[in-house]
Amino acid sequence: MINSQWERIAGRLRDEVGDAAWRSWLRPVVVHSLKDGAVRLALPTRFMRDWVATHYGERLRALWGAEDPSIRAVDIVVDAGATAAGKTALAKPTLVASSAPAAIAASPAAPEVEELGAQLDQRLTFKNFVVGKPNEFAYAAARRVAEAAQVSFNPLFLYGGVGLGKTHLMHAIAWHIREHDPSRRVLYLSAEKFMYRFIRALRSQDTMSFKEQFRSVDVLMVDDVQFIAGKDATQEEFFHTFNALVDQGRQIVISADKSPSDLEGMEERLKSRLNSGLVADLHATTYELRLGILESKAEQMGVPVPPKVMEFLAHKIASNVRELEGALNRVVAHSQLVGRAITLETTQEVLHDLLRASDRRITIEEIQKRVAEHFNIKLAEMGSARRSRQVARPRQVAMYLAKQLTSRSLPEIGRKFGGRDHTTVMHAVKKVEELKASDQNFSEDVDLLRRMLQG
């Protein structure tokens, strides 16, 4: 009997409030129970319960009293198992709201989280993230958020330049949670998509559905939050969404290209909120990290790439990881498509546009620095009096490259190497040429250095 009463009441409410409000707030309501003259209605979230109680509670009580005078109260409960389609509810509801004169809340049955957010890239997992000094702190923080039901910091704010791994870490968090705790609802999307969805909700006068969709998740992840800088209405909504989730103990992960304090066009109160958790930056990559990334990428691709080519790419493509991986992809694709082996020569041909930037003048100081790094000796040794092979050989290589790559005279080169005589430079050039002819590994080393300096 009680269900038939609700059907009649629901029909009247639908006529009164219209289809849009009905779909958003009242369609998800299910009848939970009738006891001692009090009807209990169930909704799946607290937000929906509060909204219906506030806006429709008194009207529900009046309609039900007119339908059945024995009904003295309408109570609204939060029941995560409530579904309007199946008319089911949990036996042990929580968070009861009574509608003696006020009372209830609801929201549309939220769409699947996956439909709201962006598609996750299956390649962007923790397993495929190469950790090094520049990103180890951000990586550790991301793993903590992914592995723990609750952490002591909220939000986690990741920032760094383009292609340094922010998006990779966010996808990795989402994948880890989905795999190990699928009951947690994770929503990942860009700040741009957040804004467009908000604008669409405003145009369709359905902002409450928007609010419920975004405030019912367990983990909200917003990429490139700098996009909403200067967009006041979107910032306002994002601020309230942020507060609502934090107040409910839900986790937020944000990324941007700058730290919260440096985001121009962002409201101070939002900056303060973004700064209130853990801020972790991803620094520019080091040579060692870039080399590790290339090795990992080549292993994933199942393609043998000569170490010298790896070293060359790690030295030359230092801007960001995305460009580095893209360069390797081009080199491998070229090799497979035209059937040529991957060598330093073909690599330089294929990537000529990326490497073109170094038609600048090469200095002796730059040569000395690069050679010292390559052979792992101190820069000061280039001008020292030490004659051990460990130091003398790199010094000779640097003199040879200075002769090949600069327009400086032999005496000028000699002066840059601790005031040595021009005959010392001549001897170094001759020695390096002899070694190149007789020692393949040494020849490749020198060739690699020359290519890295030339671009």
The string of pLDDT tens digits covering residues 296-334 is: 888 888 888 998 889 888 888 877 788 888 899 999 998
pLDDT-derived band at 217, boundaries 50, 70, 90:
confident
Mean confidence (pLDDT) of the chain = 82
151 φ/ψ angles, rounded to the nearest 5 degrees: -125, 165
Rounded to the nearest 10 degrees, how much is the dihedral formed by the CA atoms of 361, 363, 369, 371?
80
pLDDT-derived band at 357, boundaries 50, 70, 90:
low
Report d(CA 434, CA 199) in Å as an integer: 71
Instruction: Give the model's pLDDT for residue 96.
Output: 39
Report d(CA 211, CA 238) in Å as an integer: 10
Query: Of residues 223 and 97, which shows the higher confidence score?
Result: 223
- Tokens for 447? 């060739």
Instruction: Give the model's pLDDT for residue 139.
Output: 94
What are the tens digits of pLDDT across the range 123-151?
899 998 988 888 899 999 999 999 988 88
Instruction: Give the model's pLDDT for residue 159.
Output: 92
What are the tens digits of pLDDT across the range 150-168?
888 889 999 988 888 899 9
Alpha carbons within 13 A on the beta-carbon side of 361: 6
Q: What is the mean pLDDT of the segment spanning 55-79?
A: 85
129: left (phi over 0), alpha (psi -120 to 50) or beta: beta
Between helix 207-215 and helix 232-247 the angle, nearest 10°, is 40
Q: What residue spans of 248-286 are helical by DSSP H?
A: 268-274
Instruction: Give the model's pLDDT for residue 361.
Output: 65
Q: What is the mean pLDDT of the segment spanning 258-273?
A: 88
pLDDT-derived band at 255, boundaries 50, 70, 90:
very high
**Mapping DSSP to helix (H, G, I), strand (E, B) and coil, where does residue 259 land?**
coil
Rounded to the nearest 10 degrees, how much is the dihedral formed by the CA atoms of 304, 307, 313, 315?
160
Contacts of 325-330 spanning 24+ positions with Cβ under 8 A: 325/293, 325/294, 325/297, 327/351, 327/354, 328/294, 328/297, 328/298
Among the residue ranges 248-257, 308-317, 351-360, the one predicted with the least confidence is 351-360
Report d(CA 91, CA 79) in Å as an integer: 9
What are the tens digits of pLDDT across the range 4-55?
888 888 888 888 877 767 776 788 888 888 888 888 888 877 767 777 887 7
Report d(CA 163, CA 116) in Å as an integer: 25
Q: Which residues contact 364 (CB under 8 A, 6 or more apart)?
A: 398, 402, 406, 408, 413, 416
Strand 73-78 relative to strand 38-43, pairing: parallel
How many C-beta atoms lie closer than 10 Å to residue 273's C-beta? Answer: 20
Q: Which residues contact 202 (CB under 8 A, 6 or more apart)?
A: 233
Report d(CA 23, CA 46) in Å as an integer: 17
Instruction: Give the model's pLDDT for residue 115.
Output: 52
Report d(CA 70, CA 113) in Å as an integer: 41
Give the chain's length. 455
Among the residue ranges 39-43, 210-214, 424-428, the one predicted with the least confidence is 210-214
Report d(CA 43, CA 25) in Å as an integer: 9
Q: Which residues contact 286 (CB under 8 A, 6 or more apart)?
A: 132, 133, 134
What are the tens digits of pLDDT across the range 77-119?
877 555 444 343 433 333 434 333 333 223 333 434 445 567 7
Question: Is pLDDT of 395 > 90?
Answer: yes
pTM attached to this predicted model: 0.55
